A and B are shown apart, each in its own frame.
Chain A
Amino acid sequence: MAGYVSRGFRGRRRAGDGEAGRLPPGQYAEPGFPVLTAGPTPRVDLAEWRLRVDGLVATPREWTWEEVQALPRSTFEGDIHCVTRWSKLGTSFAGVSVDVLLDQAEPLPQATHVVASCHGGYTTNLPLEDVRGGKAWVVWEHEGQPLPPEHGGPARLLVPHLYFWKSAKWLMALRLLDHDRPGFWEGLGYHNRGDPWREERYWGD
């Protein structure tokens, strides 16, 4: 979508020299952390907060806030990429690895996909492999601070190797299925998988 280049307009972003190789195609480095929301921010009482893993698992599990905090802590340090073209380089999140949650729930052999569902109704879908093997977390801290509500607190899914709409905010449950089920954006034009390195933004990319 070419446009008229306006003299003197640069935008806010700064791309350092070392960043070029870290940016997927079509992305720019954003020092801030833009808030993108498709609805009101859910307010979740920690006393009533639960995280569920169910569906095609041997043992459906549900954790309270205290229980999930007691699980082995895991930290992600790296880059995140939003389909709206900003990438935040060198950030960090902390929480629990999805592998730990799945180990406890024991996925059945026929489980191939997972759907994340969230307070407020947001959903996103992923192949099961995309949340296993150290690639996904449920996080409640960002850069050392509790995850703010506008960024998905109390806890969100984190799947940094895919576009950030897959890192569902206000996570409630992960349901394992033997089929795929497009989520909120995947059902409205956005790519089913969303690999930033292959620039999978929209249907048909």
Chain B
Amino acid sequence: MDEADLRLDGNHVAGLLAEVFQFDMTVEWSGCAACGARNQLGALQVYAHGMGAVMCCPGCGQTLLRVARGGGRWWLDLRGMAWLQLDEGARLPD
């Protein structure tokens, strides 16, 4: 198996991010702190497993977001993201 086989899209962590943000984060836009590229989170490259997930810029590979989950808590590292836009239209229904 090649590591490339394990790469996924932002869609893969839609459910996990919905636990935290209560928005469908795959359609929300982000800015890469390294290269400035704008991408919807669904377009980011993802490495994910039971410990958590890492979302990377498809252009320059910079990690935009790291998330870990366990024991009823979530931890987020957004240092690689210059900005994150949330859109009322993507709010999850009640």
Q: Which A residues lie at the B interface, using CB under 8 A?
A: 1, 34-41, 82-85, 149-150, 165, 185, 187-190, 201-203, 205
Contact = CB atoms under 8 A, between A and B. Distances in A.
B77 to A, nearest CB: 6
Interface of B: 1-4, 6-7, 47, 49-52, 54, 56, 61, 63, 66, 68-75, 77
A149 B51 contact: no
Among A34, A83, A188, find the residue whose CB has the most chain B CB atoms closer than 10 A. A188
A84 B1 contact: no
Q: A-B pairs with the 10 shortest C-beta distances?
A: A41-B3, A84-B50, A189-B75, A36-B49, A189-B68, A202-B71, A188-B68, A188-B75, A38-B54, A202-B70
A118 to B, nearest CB: 14
Given A36-B50, A189-B70, A190-B70, 12 more contacts: A34-B49, A35-B6, A36-B49, A38-B66, A40-B4, A84-B51, A149-B3, A150-B2, A188-B52, A188-B75, A189-B73, A189-B75
B3 A202 contact: no
Contact of A40 (B1, B3, B50, B77): B3
A84 to B, nearest CB: 3
A68 to B, nearest CB: 24
Nearest to A163: B51
A187 B56 CA distance: 18
Nearest to B7: A40
15 contacts: A36-B49, A37-B3, A38-B66, A39-B54, A83-B51, A84-B50, A149-B3, A150-B6, A165-B51, A188-B66, A188-B68, A189-B68, A189-B73, A202-B70, A205-B71
B1 A190 contact: no
A85 B54 CA distance: 20
B33 to A, nearest CB: 15
Contacts of B71: 201-202, 205
Nearest to A204: B71
A86 B52 CA distance: 15
Contacts of A39: 47, 54, 56, 63
B3 A185 contact: no
Nearest to B50: A84
